[in-house]
Amino acid sequence: MNMSPAGDDADLPGLLLARARQWIADDPWPPDRAELAALVDAAHATGDLETLCERFSGALCFGTAGLRGPLRAGPAGMNTAVVRRTAAGLAAWLLPRQAGPGASADGDLPPPLVVVGADARHGSERFALDSVQVLAGAGVRAALLPIPVPTPVLAFAVRRLGADAGIMVTASHNPATDNGYKVYLGAPPDDPANGAQIVAPVDSEIEAAIDAVGPAASLPLGDGWIRLGPEIHAAYVAAAAATLRPPGTGTGTTAGLAAGDLAAGDLADLRVGYTPLHGVGADTLTAVFTRAGLAAPFVVAEQARPDPDFPTVAFPNPEEPGALDRVLALGRAVDADVVIANDPDADRCAAAVGSRVLTGDEFGLLLADEVLRARPGPVATTIVSSGALATLAAAHDVPCFETLTGFKWIMRAHAGLVFGYEEALGYAVAPTLVRDKDGITAALAIAGIAAAEKRRGRTLLDRLDDLVRRYGLHATAQVSVRVTDSARISAVMDALRAEPPARIGTVDVLDIHDLATTPTPATGPAPAAAPATTGTPALAGGSARTGTAGDGVLSADVVIFRLAGGGRVVVRPSGTEPKIKAYLEVTVPVEPTADADSLALTRHEAGTRLATLGDAVRQLLLGR
């Protein structure tokens, strides 16, 4: 290692240099040690400490979806030292909390069980192996799923195995330069948190345990972990496929198919275009589809196999412009009835009919309508999603809970939750199966709805029109401002609070709800009485929301502006990317007898309002 003598570094801040040298000494991975040593040498040669400071700006913290960060050496990146210390911290947190259901007759408790999975990103398999070795070395039972694996399979495994925790190494839809670490916890079977991702205060407690861990290089590594076979994946495929069953083959979990007139042949007749976006979803989705009776989808060939460089897309996120271009072209070429895309770890799902890509809120409304027809029960969404779900829930006389952003909150809304979704393409159509968003079962459900509509000579868009006639048009859009300096995000949010706008564009702001200073109570009121089933329910204020759910009081870095005319803007920092995000919604009443031309005009009106509002919001954020 080419390190300069200490005396030659007198002009460098001593604390930073000492931290870097100590980290290098404690890092067990030689390439990372060399990487940091080169940065120290460069800082000495040039006097430029910016890059080194960035590496030691702070440890990665659990955000909306676990730890995420760039693949680089140092505490502010995803690397072997960080992963091993994280696994050791989780083990240290778990061991004194081992629950009693597995206790033997003499009262002895088995060590906690942690199941680990990983996607196909750069470093994922190595980080998974780091995790099971550290867990085993700490005295925890560790089980490794076959790699690569979709995130929903890992989440399923936590519940299936009765595990105390689960780890999924993935950065989901982030760029190829990133990786991440999701942590799930087990709980008693009737606990809504069983198999869900961690939330406060557990995340802070585990972070404190990580901070207390000794040097990564000195952590003991064990070989007592086990490598699981294909049985968990096979069980997931069978259970996921069983969420969609036509009449005569058993009870399904989606209504129009289980109770309607759809035959097995109608499922096989559906033509689906699909892409996993270079991720790990293709084999699992195809297995689930064919087991459920659907034909195997047509898959974008150049995106079909896992590739951690994601060579055909700028960002491997179905929400990003251009990400769906190839699957939309495939859909046109094969005359697909529906086009479907998963993100790289297959926990999110997008859908399109022809060239018309459904928004996350439209997709969520279609799924919610299908689920509630079959098994009415509590539903949940997030504060940034459309108010249409609450309107639909009120019509079914069931509770609709609103949570902070992230499926870890949605899944805790109610023990009997039957459906949850967030506008960022995340859906849970079978919460008892996977206590997280699941892009595989969501894809199966939307395909089932499409098959039912195809039998009637219709499409998903016709089904969506029916819902608009019944519940009004809730049009949504999103504005994202990407930043290079994370301090810019805080500055914008602070400015919005210090000088909130009285108008956004030409629209008056009726009220402002700052979840950082006036947090929302954790338990919402009972749902309002269901409105009449014909005509559009009242859309005053743009929402029929019935309350929030969670533990304690929901406080977050979120500002909500309610606008005149039934509009709403929600602004928050992204929990997974360096962005400020604004979620826009406008609502327009619709006559229950509106024809196709009227609906087109209504959508045009709403689209114009959204575009104007979006321009104003973008100017507002950029000007702060």
Pair 357, 327: CB distance under 8 Å: no
Where does 456-518 have alpha helices with state H?
Answer: 460-471, 486-498
Cα–Cα distance for residue pair 358/571, rounded to 1 Å: 22
**Set 131, 172, 385, 386: catalytic member:** 172
Identify whether 297 is preceded by a cis peptide bond (ω within 30 of 0).
no
The amino acid at residue 159 is: R
Place of tokens 């928004």: 359
Burial class from Cβ neighbours inside 10 Å (0-12, 13-18, 19+) for residue 144 reads buried
DSSP strands (E only) in 278-337: 298-299
Question: Is residue 486 annotated as a catalytic residue, yes or no?
Answer: no
Cα–Cα distance for residue pair 467/560, rounded to 1 Å: 26
Cα–Cα distance for residue pair 355/350, rounded to 1 Å: 13
Pair 251, 445: CB distance under 8 Å: no
β 559-563/567-573 pair status = antiparallel
Cα–Cα distance for residue pair 240/247, rounded to 1 Å: 17
CA torsion through residues 139, 145, 150, 153, sign: negative
* Residue 482 CB contacts under 8 Å (≥ 6 apart), including other chains: 577, 578, 579
Pair 432, 378: CB distance under 8 Å: no
* Residue 376 CB contacts under 8 Å (≥ 6 apart), including other chains: 396, 397, 398, 418
DSSP string computed for 408-461: HHHTTS-TT--EEEETTTEEES-TTT-SS--HHHHHHHHHHHHHHHHHTT--HH
Cα–Cα distance for residue pair 364/184, rounded to 1 Å: 24
Which residues are designated catalytic? Answer: 172
